[in-house]
Amino acid sequence: MSTLSWQNSLRTKLAKHPRKGECETRPYRIAIVGIGNELRGDDAAGVIVARELQAIVGAKHSDEQRQNASPLHIIDAGAAPEAFTGQLRRFDPDLVIMIDAAQMDQTPGTIRAIEWQDTIGLSASTHTLPLNVIAQYLVSELGCDVIVIGLQPEANAFDTPLSPLVRRAVDELIDGLASILMRS
């Protein structure tokens, strides 16, 4: 199972990340991009986190708050996160958190916050582009910061549900993100 070090990494990133134009009146914007193939077992972890987190965030924000440029944008990107770069450009985030199942040679269900530059070589077989390529594009084109939260899969067999260990990690990640982001 995972430790809470991913939460500490994210809190540290949020605390020290310089906000674009400190004198601007717009709030700090965070985009969460859930990535994965929901037909491939534990590879669906990222998209499930995005969907379930959206339900929690949506329930806690009124329609008026959502219409007034919410500082949080959640995307279920499926297996093609590059298809959502236009949506991210329009949102203009300060930080993008990419969530994906990642072969990290850890115990199944482990959650790690990973700097995007360190994702070179992480397995991402269901993606059309590697995460580091997408992250580099976002950093250079949008001027935002990017962090990847990886979940170690147990199995990515076709047409299977999440394994119990990864389901527990997904729940932990959702609870932790909701707690951190609702305070930001």
At 133-149, the pLDDT tens digits run 899 999 999 999 999 99
Q: Output the pLDDT for position 110.
A: 95
Amino acid occupying residue 31: A
Q: Is 79 exposed, middle or buried (0-12, 13-18, 19+ CB in 10 A)?
A: buried
Structure confidence at residue 143 (pLDDT): 94
The 10s digit of each residue's pLDDT in 11-63 is: 887 876 555 555 456 788 999 999 999 999 999 999 999 999 999 887 665 44
Tell me how far apart the alpha carbons of residues 176 and 95 are, in angstroms, rounded to a whole number.
Answer: 17
Cα separation of 161 and 155, whole Å?
A: 9
- Report residue 73: phi and psi, to 5°: -130, 125
Q: Is the pLDDT of residue 181 over 60?
A: yes
DSSP secondary structure letter of residue 159: T
Measured distance CA(65)–CA(72) in Å, rounded: 11
What is the predicted pLDDT for the residue at 70? 79
What percent of the chain lies above the pLDDT cut of 70? 81
Average pLDDT over residues 79-108: 93
Return the domain boundaries, the chain: 29-119+126-183
DSSP letter, residue 103: B
User: Rounded CA gap, 75 and 50, in Å?
Assistant: 6
| One-letter amino acid of 174 | I
What's 84's DSSP letter? G
Token pair of 39 as six digits: 């037909």
CATH architecture of 29-119+126-183: 3-Layer(aba) Sandwich (3.40)
pLDDT band at 64 (very low <50, low <70, confident <90, very high): very low
Q: Tell me which of 84-88, 118-122, 156-160 is least confident.
A: 118-122
**CA–CA gap between residue 126 and residue 78 (Å, rounded):** 9
Mean pLDDT of 78-94: 93
What pTM does this model have? Answer: 0.85
- In this prediction, residue 60 carries a pLDDT of 61
pLDDT of residue 31: 96
